[in-house]
Structure 1
Amino acid sequence: MSELDVTWVLVAGVLVMFMQAGFACLEIGFSRGKNAGTVVAKVLINFATVSLAWWLAGFALAFGGDGWFAGDSGFFLSIGHVLAPGSPIPGPLDGAGSAFAFFQLVFCAVSLAIVWGTTLERVRFIAYPIYGTVFAVLIYPLVAHWIFGGGLLHDIGMGMQDFAGSTVVHLTGATGGLAALLLLGPRRGKYAPDGTPRAIPGHSMPVFGLGVLILWLGWFGFNGGSALGTDGNRFAEVIFVTNLAAAAGVLGAAATVSWRVGRLDIGMVGNGAVAGLVAVTAPSGFVEFWAAPIIGLVAGVLVVVSVLAIDRVLDDPVGALSAHGIAGIWGTLSCGLFASPRLIEDAGLPGQAGLVYNGSLEQLGVQAAGVAIAFTVVFVLSYLTFGVIKATVGLRVTPDEERDGLDLVEHGMYGYPEQFIASGDVD
């Protein structure tokens, strides 16, 4: 990698790291005021946990070699450490390798952040570092290796296409969230005695909106940085494709929610942007400009329909299962429809062009099989991990603690003190 390439990868990595602020704002906005502060502590603890776990073993298992199952070198990364020949950065680790390792670290951190959207307002804080360690050391690295690192689903296997992680990052995070949610159960009062879902509004749509815009910005680093350099200025095309899909996602969600519920729901519109971004993450390096709005528009429609359907049976406060899971599946499958021969063949990328170009369902089948394998493995490992947490230290707070709010119960302080403490008590 040239110095310019390294600079771009690092800048992109910083943009992706800033997405943690976007997730924080999005989740704070969708939480009630009594649970707003705990999100800040969660984001900091999770990013710190991933940073150390990735250095310890996550990077090595994901990118330290080209074995079909996992990497085998790069544990406790240090300058001069020699990585396996099959690594994306073979030979001694240097500055370029450090840039790549950091860029992949922040991907892992984004995937972990997605997990917790389903668990807002009732999960015990101790679950974060425990699951986060297992996730960053084992669960995420396995999927990353199989698709990004030359493993089971990439060069050695089927030639699955996932340019920046609709499956690796987003479906993996959503699947972990599904496993947690099934063991955790809904928030108190979410469902009426007859099973009808009740709305539990978040306390700040402006904060939520800020989160969406931060994520939108960070995604330019997420997808554009996955070009891993500036050669041929491909990263600029990827960024433009990304923006087109996000914009179409907003409009698709806005039209669908207006039709389904008769009003322009702010949360749905924001999730339309996220869904469009998630969906285009896999094909962003494989599709021409014309395909991006189609991918984003479909994602915007799907996220609304999915949120409304899932809400009947599962309490997912931020819509993570829909915006990251369903949209992630659609985005991964869309490679099998729209992948361009120009971008696949000229770059020597895995797999083949999509259905609209060659009339073949082969790549679509490869994408579907990859989704199924990744989902199954992540779900089983996550469910086992959360099951152990539930059986030992506990996964959910007590009903009284949930009623009082996690800010006070877990941290002994309020995110918004003036909201809960009379002014005379602090004069």
Structure 2
Amino acid sequence: MELSELSRGLDTIWVVLTAAMILLMEGGFALLEAGFVRQKNAVSIIMKVFVDIAFGALVFYFFGFAIMYGKDVSGLFGTSGFLLSGDLSHIVLNISHETYWLFQCAFVIAVISIVSGAVAERIHFRAYILLTIAMTGLIYPLAGHWVWSTGGWLGKLGMIDFAGSAVIHALGGFAALAAAIFVGPRIGKFSPDGKVNIVSPSNLPLASVGAFILWFGWFGFNAGSTLSATNTSIGHIAVTTMLSAAAGGATCILFTMFRYKKADPPMVINGSLAGLVGITAGCAFVSDGAAIFIGAICGIMMVLATEYMESKKIDDPVGAFAVHGISGSIGTLALGLFAKPELAGEVGQGYYGLFYGGGLKLLGVQALGLVTVSVWGFVFTWGVLWLIRKIMPVRVSKDEELIGLDVGIHGVPAYSYDTDFLDVDRLKSGN
């Protein structure tokens, strides 16, 4: 076997394995969100995750991948690669186009899963299917094309986003914000006098396991983005990923102990995830110390953003915007400050961080890209939901919400008891 064939085989195995790790993160999303919501809506969460995977994969295969990575038109969108056919010669990698599609498919599924949690417990299932199709087929692929494709206009300007703090997390976070505002808060979350009512999570141990699975999958998310099993930066990427996540969790423990006089478990869970989100853009390009700093800032800002969201009467049951929108923004901008010349100088336009003498060029490009994808995610998601509302309800009925989406929409509770027999028809009727 020639060395080139061996290298291609190793890279293929690496990319497939890391794609599988990223797909496993859907199990993490399922457990995390099911643990954060009430018992009566746990099945609803699981069903939405299946929508993410099933519809997301098919839509991305049929046309999402082509729009994102197809032959470029004016730096805006692609026009080849529908059903993985046509001219994809511009994608020059050491793996097949099918293998590359699989890895990117795992990414697109993660994007819509961010939005899922923000509208938990009140979005209508049919409306969510349509939103998933729009997100995986158009909203994310277009933003991804601008940054990651050959010829994308933000990429040509020099924007760096190694594994997606902006393209995946900021985009998904601001889309989640738009969806949460559009759908409105859960019944009883806010009192008429403005008081914020606590909706207790149903199962924090379950949510914790979900976070640990996400943490595990993130090593595939970040290190897998090398697309090469022999890339010597894999170890560094894994270390910065670990340190940022740990800093986010540790900072949340200390910050909530100071702020609330006790360590807040949901905040600590989300703090670790915030650290993971924040380091995703620069995991290959910043030092270990910078990774710790980024994770710590993301952890603190996640807590403050969660409080701000509630003060503005925006109901986000799992903290999707605070974790992904805010931390994704911080991570994207932090790269403009901390990117080391020896690590980032060969990508983009050769720009590197302000703190290393790189000036404002990279920071300016990062800011432009962040604003672009964030506004795009927010505005287009709002527009899609507005169009969906013209043809069907976006939000479930009051009775369905009070009964719970598990029984009200899917006709089955998440948990059954041997000695109890539930009359589903009676529960649906509210009698």
* TM-score category (smaller protein): over 0.9
| Structure 1 residues 254 and 52, CA gap change in structure 2 (3 angstroms) | same
Change (3 A) 1:377 1:310: same
Please tell me the residue identity of whatever aligns with 1:53: V
The residue correspondences of 1:158-237 to structure 2 (distance < 5 A) are: 158-237=157-236
List per-residue Cα deviations over 1:185-217 (Å, max 9, x = no partner): 100000112112111011000000000000000
User: Secondary structure, in 3 states, of the residue corresponding to 2:288?
Assistant: coil
Measure how far apart 1:362 and its partner are. Answer: 2.1
Aligned to 1:316: 316
Alignment of 1:253-332 (within 5 A): 253-313=252-312, 314-332=314-332
Q: Counterpart in 2 of 1:336?
A: 336
Aligned counterpart, 1:10: 16
Q: 3-state SS of the aligned residue for 1:187?
A: coil
Number of equivalenced pairs: 415
**Distance verdict in 2 for CA 1:371–1:151, change over 3 Å:** farther
Change (3 A) 1:289 1:387: same
Q: Which amino acid aligns with 1:316?
A: D
- Name the residue aligned to 1:423: 420
Q: CA 1:183–1:424 in structure 2 vs 1: closer, same or farther (change >3 Å)?
A: closer
* Whole-angstrom CA distance in 2 between matches of 1:220 and 1:350: 27
1:26 to 3, 28, 32: 32
Q: Aligned partners of 1:391 and 1:155: how far apart in 2?
A: 36
Letter in 1 for 2:78: G
Query: Does the aligned pair in 1 maintain the 2:8–2:95 contact within 8 Å?
Result: no
5+ long unaligned stretches in structure 2: 1-6, 424-431
Q: Which moved more, 1:100-109 or 1:382-391?
A: 382-391
Match of 2:81 among 62, 74, 77: 74
Q: In the alignment, which residue of structure 2 is the partner of 1:374?
A: 373
> CA–CA distance in 1 between the matches of 2:285 and 2:421?
61
Q: Deviations over 1:280-339 (max 9, x none)?
A: 000111112221101111111111111111112211110111000000000000000100
Superposed CA offset, 1:353-380 (max 9, x none) = 1011006122111111111111122222
Tell me the C-alpha RMSD between the 2 structures. Answer: 1.7
Given candidates 53, 70, 77, the residue that maps to 1:64 is 70
Percent identity, aligned pairs only, is 38
1:161/1:351 contact within 8 Å kept: no
| Aligned CA distance change for structure 1 residues 222 and 424 (closer, same or farther; 3 Å) | closer
Asked whether the 8 Å contact 1:73–1:84 carries over to 2, the reply is: no
TM-fit CA distance, 1:60: 0.8
Identify unmatched segments of 5+ residues in structure 1: none
- Which amino acid is 1:75 matched to? F
What is the match of residue 3 of structure 2?
none
Q: By how many angstroms is 1:154 displaced?
A: 3.6
Q: Structure 1 residue 148 and structure 2 residue 148: aligned?
A: yes
Amino acid at match of 2:35: G
Shift of 1:248: 0.4
* Paired residue type of 2:88: L
Partner amino acid, structure 2, of 1:26: L
Cα drift, residue 417 of structure 1? 2.1
For residue 4 of structure 2, what is the aligned residue in structure 1? Answer: none
> How has the CA–CA distance of structure 1 residues 186 and 103 changed in structure 2, closer, same or farther, with 3 Å as cutoff?
same
1:207-247: per-residue Cα shift (whole Å, max 9, x none)?
A: 00000000000000000000110234212211111001000
Confirm or deny that 1:83 pairs with 2:82.
Answer: no
Cα distance in structure 1, aligned partners of 2:92 and 2:147: 13
The TM-score with structure 1 as length reference comes to 0.94
Q: Is the 8 A contact 2:159 2:348 kept in 1?
A: no
Using the size of structure 2 for normalisation, the TM-score is: 0.93
**Mapped partners of 1:317, 1:58: distance in 2:** 29
Name the aligned partner's letter for residue 265 of structure 2: I
Q: 1:384 to 1:84 in 2, by over 3 A?
A: farther
| Equivalent residue number for residue 130 of structure 2 | 130
> Take 1:262 and 1:377, find their aligned partners in 2: how far apart are those partners?
39
1:38-53 to 2 correspondence within 5 Å?
38-53=44-59
The alpha carbon displacement at 1:151 in A equals 4.1
| Distance in 2, Cα, partners of 1:131 & 1:372 | 22
- C-alpha contact (below 8 Å) 2:171/2:376 kept by paired residues: no
Task: Give the direction of change, closer, same or farther, for the CA distance of 1:425–1:323 in structure 2 (3 Å limit).
Answer: closer
Distance 1:358 1:53 in 2: 44
Q: How many angstroms apart in 2 are the aligned matches of 1:112 and 1:257?
A: 29
CA–CA distance in structure 2, aligned partners of residues 261 and 128 of structure 1: 36
Distance 1:88 1:115, change over 3 A: farther
d(CA) in 1 for partners of 2:127 and 2:32? 20
Alpha-carbon displacement from aligned partner over 1:46-91 (angstroms, at most 9, x marks no partner): 210011001101111111124300111100115xx54143x345xx
How far does residue 425 in structure 1 lie from its aligned partner after superposition?
A: 6.5
Residue number in structure 2 paired with 1:413? 412
CA–CA distance in structure 2, aligned partners of residues 371 and 101 of structure 1? 25
Q: Is the deviation greater in 142-151 or in 103-112?
A: 142-151
| Matching residue's letter, 1:280 | I
Q: 1:399 to 1:328 in 2, by over 3 A?
A: same
- Between stretches 352-361 and 402-411, larger displacement belongs to 352-361
| In 1: Cα distance, 2:420 partner to 2:383 partner | 47
The answer to whether the Cα contact below 8 Å between 1:159 and 1:366 also exists between their aligned partners in 2 is yes
SS in 2 for 1:411: coil
CA distance in 2, matches of 1:385, 1:425: 37
Distance change in 2, residues 1:88/1:183 (3 Å): farther
| CA distance in 2 between partners of 1:29 and 1:351 (Å) | 44
- Quickly say closer, same or farther: Cα 1:326–1:423, change in 2 above 3 A: same
